Structure 1
Amino acid sequence: METIWLAVGGGAVFVLFVGALLRRRRSRDARESKRAHEAAREREPPVTIGESYEFGVTEFTDHHSGNRVAVGKVEGFVLFVENVPNSLGEGDVIRAKVLSFNRGRTSADATFVGRS
């Protein structure tokens, strides 16, 4: 019976330890994201409205428009690309035309022009 209690206690300590590590990692990731966001607010965007840029799709998300959009970066600057074909996947290289900057000029909306 004592062995069972020792195993249960050891398992509980292990779970608490792993949980603490995960919380620290999330906290560090949040700090890094905040620093990157602040740095983006302090610099001029590396893109120009009306110009087209080539970049890789890093992920897909539902943007404020409610539609599926591709997300990618040009020199670390985030672009949300609308009107993407359903056949596109993460890692595909696309070309998109910048339409507007979002509040704070830390990202921009763009429209799909084609695959590269």
Structure 2
Amino acid sequence: MIPSSPIVYGAGVAAVLFVLFVVVRRLRAPSSDARESKRAHEAAQERDPPVEIGETYEFGVTELTDHHSGNEVAVGKVEGFVVFTADIPRDLQPGDVIRAKVLSFNQGRTSADATFVTKA
């Protein structure tokens, strides 16, 4: 027969709550992709951008997305540095290689805004 003292019940409840806490914490923890993205973002904040305002760069389009401006932009990277390119042609697709002129940096200088020049 199992003892039915309040201490035994309390210990059992505490153990169950602890296990639930551990499970919930693991489920809510950032994924490895999120941790890697955060690490890359922090590293980008510590380095000088590999692009210069007014210069034109050639890179592959990794995705098309809606920018905070409300317009669709091409996203690509120059030496791992994110470049958002506006004024893109309608037929542009991920995987296309383009040339874009850098216009400005974001506040933390971790990405740049550019304008489309031509397909490469």
Normalised-by-shorter TM-score class: 0.7 to 0.9
Residues 50-105 of structure 1 deviation map (CA, whole Å, 9 limit, x = unaligned):
00000000000000100000000000000000000010100000000000000100
Q: Which residue pairs with 2:98 in the alignment?
A: 94
Q: Which residue pairs with 1:103 in the alignment?
A: 107
Matched, 1:73 2:80: no
Provide structure 1 residue ranges, at least 5 long, that are not aligned to the other structure: 1-22
Q: Secondary structure at the match of 1:99?
A: strand
* Runs of 4+ residues deviating >4 angstroms: 23-26
Q: Which residue pairs with 2:24 in the alignment?
A: none
Distance across 2 between alignment mates of 1:54 and 1:108: 14
Q: Amino acid of the residue matched to residue 49 of structure 1?
A: I
Q: Amino acid of the residue matched to residue 93 of structure 1?
A: V
Matched, 1:115 2:119: yes
Selected match of 1:82 from 60, 76, 86: 86
Query: RMSD in angstroms over aligned alpha carbons?
Result: 1.7
Identity %: 76
TM-score, with length taken from structure 1: 0.78
Distance across 2 between alignment mates of 1:24 and 1:105: 30
Q: Amino acid of the residue matched to residue 66 of structure 2?
A: D
Q: Decide which structure has the larger Cα Rg and report it.
A: 2
TM-score, with length taken from structure 2: 0.75
Q: Secondary structure at the match of 1:103?
A: coil
Q: Per residue, is there more helix in 1 or in 2? A: 1
Q: Which residue pairs with 2:41 in the alignment?
A: 37
Q: How many residues align?
A: 95
Q: Amino acid of the residue matched to residue 31 of structure 1?
A: R
Distance across 1 between alignment mates of 2:58 and 2:78: 8
Provide structure 2 residue ranges, at least 5 long, that are not aligned to the other structure: 1-26
